[in-house]
Amino acid sequence: MAAAFFYPLPNLYRTGGVRSIKLFLYKKFIYLYLITLCNTTAPMKTPYFYAEAPPFVPPPSVSDTLKRLWLFARHPQPVQREQNVVEVKLPLIFQLSLIELMLQSVLLLLLSTVYNLLDLQTDGQYIPQELLDSTSFTLLFVAVVLVGPLKEELIFRLPLVYSKGFLAVALAVFLFNYGPTVATAAGAAPLHFLLAALALVTLAAVYLRSSSLQTRVHLLWKRHFGLVFYTSCVLFALLHLVNYQNIHLPLFLALLLVLPKFVGGFFLGYTRLRLGLAWAVGQHMFINAIALLLLYGYLSGL
């Protein structure tokens, strides 16, 4: 075959030059391609640029979103991930963010009314006044709007989709970023914090090395996903208690302060499951940006 293929080349070169050689090679290539195509029995695959476009999916209505949120709240379980960005994900993220903002605003108004009626004062605020006075708006924006949501989503929402790697990342980010802060707020000595951190790291190492333990944890995760989901929401809310300084209230009244954060954790968890982690991070950044701008506007007398 090789000899028959290249044998006419000298004659063509002498008679027709390089142009004839190129034409001959082109025709020979087409001929061999057709022969190979006719002899093969495997079905041809459609090139990706000729593949059929995904079917159009209508944007979700607000009533449908509310209905699905209510069903999920009653029985949390992993939901099917949306794939269509333009028709589904973009309208849905705006709907979820708007509903979350409305619920949190109503809760904050109710809590403010209750505390005023009981003549109770929280001698602190979400961001300490000293921090606002000593930190530029740019640095505060980066910390509160950009870095904070990313770290919190890695801790509380990333492991909602079960993976041993996700659990390890969540534990590492928590211990590195929030471990000392939580220990100080709880009044624990540095030695106690180090011992607790060492115990958690040891348990994580045992878990990562034991396939049977990973299988059991995965089964428990699936069977009690509702408990896992709401535990994540509660821990997310409790973490924000450290943001309030010098609170002199009974415990059950102090916990009401972070009730809006529990609601926020619920919406962010739902977004993480239905849309993906990146969308939950973006939603968290959007909510924090609005809260920071409102706080600066309030303190500025706007």
Instruction: Answer yes or no: is 136 within a domain.
Output: yes
- What is the total count of domains within the chain? 2
Among 124-128, 205-209, 224-228, the range with the most confident prediction by mean pLDDT is 224-228
| Residue 229 confidence class, pLDDT cut points 50, 70, 90 | very high
| Average pLDDT estimate for 180-196 | 84
Whole-number Å distance between alpha carbons of 69 and 76: 9
| Residue 292 confidence class, pLDDT cut points 50, 70, 90 | confident
Closest C-alpha among 143, 145, 100, 93 to residue 286: 145
Residues 6+ apart with CB under 8 A from 104: 260, 263, 264, 287
281 compared with 191, residue with greater pLDDT: 281
261 compared with 118, residue with greater pLDDT: 261
The CA radius of gyration of the chain, in Å to the nearest whole number, is: 30
Instruction: Answer yes or no: is 156 within a domain.
Output: yes
Structural domain boundaries enclosing 11: 2-43
Is the pLDDT reported for residue 136 higher than 50? yes
Provide the pLDDT for residue 254: 78
Residues 6+ apart with CB under 8 A from 218: 162
| Average pLDDT estimate for 183-187 | 79
250 compared with 162, residue with greater pLDDT: 162
Instruction: Answer yes or no: is 282 within a domain.
Output: yes
Is the pLDDT reported for residue 243 higher than 70? yes
Q: Percent of the chain at pLDDT above 90? A: 48
Instruction: Answer yes or no: is 54 within a domain.
Output: no
Instruction: Answer yes or no: is 31 within a domain.
Output: yes
Same domain as 94, residue 27:
no
- Report helix, strand or coil for 12: helix
Lowest mean pLDDT among 50-54, 229-233, 273-277, 291-295: 50-54
Tokens of 219: 């089964």
Tokens of 168: 């390890």
Residues 6+ apart with CB under 8 A from 122: 115, 244, 247, 249, 257
Q: How many residues does the chain have?
A: 302
Residues 6+ apart with CB under 8 A from 239: 152, 178, 182
Provide the pLDDT for residue 4: 47
Residues 6+ apart with CB under 8 A from 250: none
Same domain as 273, residue 126:
yes
Residue 40: how many CB atoms within 10 A of its CB? 9
Is the pLDDT reported for residue 204 higher than 80? yes
Against a cut of 0.85, is the pTM above it?
A: no
Whole-number Å distance between alpha carbons of 238 and 266: 14
Whole-number Å distance between alpha carbons of 77 and 225: 6
Same domain as 262, residue 206:
yes
Q: What is the DSSP letter of 8?
A: T
Same domain as 275, residue 174:
yes
> What are the backbone angles phi and psi of residue 296, rounded to the nearest 5°?
-65, -40
